[in-house]
Amino acid sequence: GRVKILPMLSDAALRALYERARCVVIPSVLEGFSLPAAEAMWCGAPLVLCNRTALPEVGGEAALYFEPEDGEGLAAQVRETFDPAARARLCETGALQREKFRWRASARQLLQNYLS
């Protein structure tokens, strides 16, 4: 009863949710590149991510991680985002990590990969 499934959101509405989020939790175990994780970082939201697939690559040091089978671990990481010092550290580190995911830099890297 405390979970609300949202319809498709506009970019502005999604950005507003990310900006106001205590944290963004992505429990996916079947993730390619996680655009939602990168989007959340760009909006300043702390991340709590499953430690599988590409999520650790996207989140780097700017996220808290949990094992997919560990509900207690997930809950502990979400609680951690309520600590002001931890939240500040995650937001600060996220501001650095997100720089790795600029469109121009990604396009340049992709072109370099094709040319080499």
Instruction: Please report the pLDDT score of residue 12 as a whole number.
Output: 96
Look at residue 91 and tell me whether its pLDDT is greater than 90.
yes
Look at residue 115 and tell me whether its pLDDT is greater than 90.
no
Closest alpha carbon to 27 in 77, 101, 84: 77
pLDDT band, residue 76 (cuts 50/70/90): very high
pTM, two decimal places: 0.85
Look at residue 77 and tell me whether its pLDDT is greater than 80.
yes
Q: How many CA atoms lie within 13 A of 74 on its CB side?
A: 13
Instruction: Please report the pLDDT score of residue 80 as a whole number.
Output: 97
